[in-house]
Structure 1
Amino acid sequence: MSSNNVKKKFYEDMQSFYDQQDKYNFLYAISKCEIREYLRGDGKYRKYSASDFYIAYEPTDTCRVIKDVFYAEAAKVGAVDMFFDYLRQMAEESALGAYLSFDYSKLKNKEGQVV
């Protein structure tokens, strides 16, 4: 395979990955009862592609997830409350859940509001 074909394939795969990210958002996770999986970045909810560098225990982009949750609130009232309920449950269940809960909770601006 030539280098141009390799580059083309790479960019096609990346575009497919980012299109998939937009499809599998917080509202989709709510509809499928897969909120934990979404918050952890499991499977189809992964926010970093295989080609991106990421820390093994942090497969999700917490800032992007928080923005998605607040956008979801406009379409589904109670989405933000659901998000915080699941964070609390995850923090009690495992070390990964506790880590992600801490990671999400530290995303605040200077006024103390969640970004």
Structure 2
Amino acid sequence: MSDRLPIAIGVGALLRRVNDAGGMAMVRAKGDAQSGAVLFLIDEGDVQRAMERGTGPTGAPALVETRRAESSGDSLEDYWRRRRSRDPDLWVLELNIPAAERFIAETMLFD
């Protein structure tokens, strides 16, 4: 058994924190409850970004931007659906709150 918390606990905590702070957070797709990867869709009005947990320059967990869609650009919807078709364990969370990265980092970037 792993010492790492199940990812479903971190997802639940993030959803509660964002919603309690007056933002909107929802699960677009559920992945593996124990260890699935998480793709965060962040809506900032004119720009939508996709981020996920990765490794930073120091080797510590960090948020990495994997896709950006301007209002006139391609859709993040297509992007995450393609990713999900290749990885059925992938969680997809949509966040609409100022400083979404801070909420993700404080809740989901644990070792």
Report TM bin, short chain: under 0.3
Relative CO higher for 1 or 2, CA cutoff 8 Å, sep ≥ 6?
A: 2
Write 1 or 2 for the structure with the bigger share of helix: 1
* TM norm structure 1: 0.26
Write 1 or 2 for the structure with the bigger share of strand: 2
